[in-house]
Amino acid sequence: MSATHNGNSKGLPALHGVKIKTRKSLQKAQAKYEPTVFREGILKTLNNAQPGDFDDIYQQLDIAGNTLEYRKYGETLFEILLTGGVLAPGGTILDD
């Protein structure tokens, strides 16, 4: 017998039917980056607000902040608010 063989002929146990859970932070890190979906959500929110009423616009954006990820899409948010759309490389506005 070899020194590395322990005499046990059984193989390693297998995990059949076991669902391996991933951590929530790992799920967030692997989430897709979709600025066009974010843009549609922002535009829908801004369309619901009264034009020219900055308090209403602020309230609508604040309420939408619960579902939209402002930190993740911060750059896209400023592109939308300043230029009116998502910028492509070179500074042109994407038209979808």
pLDDT in tens, 9-35: 667 777 677 777 767 666 565 567 788
Token reading at 29: 């890190």
Q: What is the domain extent for residue 90?
A: 34-96
Q: Which two tokens stand for residue 39?
A: 């843009």
Token couple for 38: 């974010």
Residue 7: inside a domain, yes or no? Answer: no
Residue type, 75: E
Instruction: Count how many domains the chain has.
Output: 1
> Measured between alpha carbons, how far is 91 from 70 in angstroms, rounded to an integer?
21
| pLDDT tens, position by position, 72-84 | 888 888 888 888 7
Distance CA 2, CA 16 (A): 31
Question: Is the full-model pTM beyond 0.75?
Answer: no
| 41: in domain | yes
Report residue 59's pLDDT band, with 50, 70 and 90 as the boundaries: very high
